[in-house]
Every structure is written in C-alpha cells, then in structure tokens.
Amino acid sequence: MFKLNYKLINFLATISNINNLSFNYGSEIAILGYSNVGKSTLINILANKKISRTSKKVGCTKFINIFEVISGKRIIDFPGYGYTNFSKKDEKKTKKMLYDYIVSRVFLKGVLLLIDIRFLLKDIDREILNKLMLRKVSITIVLTKSDKVSSAKKNVQYECLKKEISMISDKISIIIFSSKIKIGMKKLINTINKNLSQ
Ligand SMILES: Nc1nc2c(ncn2[C@@H]2O[C@H](COP(=O)(O)OP(=O)(O)OP(=O)(O)O)[C@@H](O)[C@H]2O)c(=O)[nH]1
Ligand SMILES: [Mg+2]
C-alpha cells in the first residue's frame, strides 16, 4: 500500500488568488471547512510540528497555504468559510475562488471536509458537497473536536450525519476525529495516502 511520511511535510507557498496556483503536476488533497473547525490544527498534528498557523479566534487562515509531503504530493489548507474578517466583497471573492478550485482543479484528487461534530453540516457545506458531486474526487467528512462530546453524543451525531449524507451519495466516508486526543488518526492517514496515491 502507498504510504507517505507526513513528518516530512514542508511549507511550499501562500497564495491569495487561486489563479496564482502553480504546481501543475502530481496530486493534491484539499482541507476545507467552516472557520475554526480545526483545519490548520489537523495539518500540524499530521506533520507533528507547527507548520500552519492556528488560533482560537475564527478567521485565522486568510490565504491558501500549500504544503508538500514529497514532490508532487500536496496538502492545501484553505481559509475557513462562513466567517472572515474580510469585507462582504472579499468574502464573496474567497468563496468564488474556492468554488472555482473545487470545480476545475485537475490535480485535486481528494477533499477532507471538516465539520465540528457538535454542529454538523451548515448550508455552505451542503453547497460544497453538491459542487463536489459534479467531479470524480474522493470526499471524506472529518468530524472534528470529538473530544468535546460524550461517546453517546458522538454516535448520535455520526448517525445523524450519515443519514443526511446517504441522500447525497453512498461514496462519502466519515471519520470521527480529534486533534487534541488523536482519535481517528489512522483512518485519516489511510485516507490521505489513498487520495495522494492517485
Ligand atoms: N478541543 C479541540 N480543539 C481543537 C481541535 N482541533 C482544533 N482545535 C482548536 O480549535 C481552534 C481553531 O483551530 P484551527 O486549526 O485554527 O481552525 P481552522 O479551521 O484552521 O480555522 P480558520 O483558519 O480560521 O478557518 C484552535 O483553538 C484549536 O486549538 C480538537 O480536535 N479538539
Ligand atoms: Mg486555519
């Protein structure tokens, strides 16, 4: 099985405009999700070092950060949607950029859509899932911050999401995850390995 060493992750570039995205070779996986769900933290946990800035405050990541595991295998940390310190106009621009990326980027092989386990899907997550349905990319929903709920609540939220997702596609997998207490790491790593092996 194809395996990557995530301790080797390196920062490649920060871009504010998707049109400036070069690296037109290999494959990439995008980390998407609402503001503050734990996207940058997940990358840091994977890398076992602080390579992506995180914050308690929402809207921490304002640009697209590109990381490389090995040549041609990239992980892309997107700014969170739903809340930004940007003006309405910039927020609209950011959303358009994300949609252009997920609809047309040929090197995109997989998406990790991060959702806070306490709140489940928001309308914008549903919009993104619908856009992704137009493409042949692997989609995994990562239920983050699972350390914040009881085991019983974890199951309730998982089943609730599964039910909604089954109406969209039977190909979307779900991982219960926590960066804080490292739940779901193995499944996460297997998923990224699989996506980046393409
Ligand atoms: N309890 C708990 N806190 C977490 C977990 N993952 C992230 N956090 C915290 O959530 C906050 C936001 O994390 P980030 O990784 O910056 O979130 P983000 O999705 O990158 O946020 P934006 O860049 O603003 O979109 C930070 O205070 C993290 O420490 C987790 O699994 N459990
Ligand atoms: Mg971030």
**pLDDT tens digits along 132-158:** 999 989 999 999 999 999 999 999 999
Cα 176 off chain centre by: 14
| Ligand 1 neighbour 138 (Cβ under 6 A) | no
| Ligand 1 neighbour 61 (Cβ under 6 A) | yes
Asked if residues 139 and 132 have their Cβ atoms less than 8 Å apart, the reply is yes
pLDDT at 85 (0 to 100): 63
Give the three-class secondary structure for 20: helix
> What is the DSSP secondary structure assignment for residue 32, as one 8-state letter?
E
* Distance from C-alpha of 99 to C-alpha of 80, rounded to nearest angstrom: 13
Cα 182 off chain centre by: 17
With the most atoms of ligand 1 within 8 angstroms of its CB, the residue from 14, 44, 45, 54 to mutate is 54
| Lowest pLDDT segment from 58-62, 111-115, 118-122 | 58-62
Q: The tokens of 58 are what?
A: 């929402």
CATH number of 6-196: 3.40.50.300
Ligand 1 atom at minimum distance from 148 CA: 1
Hey, which residues does 166 pair with through a beta bridge? none
Q: Which ligand is nearest to the CA of 83?
A: 1
* Distance from C-alpha of 156 to C-alpha of 61, rounded to nearest angstrom: 30
Rounded to the nearest angstrom, the distance between the alpha carbon of 122 and the centre of ligand 1 is 17
pLDDT in tens, 77-110: 998 887 656 677 777 877 888 999 999 999 999 9
Rounded to the nearest angstrom, the distance between the alpha carbon of 36 and the centre of ligand 2 is 7
Residue 168, classified by CB atoms within 10 Å of its CB into exposed (0-12), middle (13-18) or buried (19+), is middle
Ranges of each domain in the chain: 6-196
* Distance from C-alpha of 42 to C-alpha of 184, rounded to nearest angstrom: 11
Give the three-class secondary structure for 58: coil
| Ligand 1 neighbour 83 (Cβ under 6 A) | no
| Mean pLDDT on 45-73 | 88
pLDDT at 83 (0 to 100): 66
Mean pLDDT over each residue of the chain, to the nearest integer: 92
pLDDT at 33 (0 to 100): 96
pLDDT at 84 (0 to 100): 57
Closest CA to 83 of 113, 60, 112, 52: 60
Backbone angles phi, psi at 163, to 5 degrees: -65, -45
Give the three-class secondary structure for 5: coil
| Mean pLDDT on 105-126 | 96
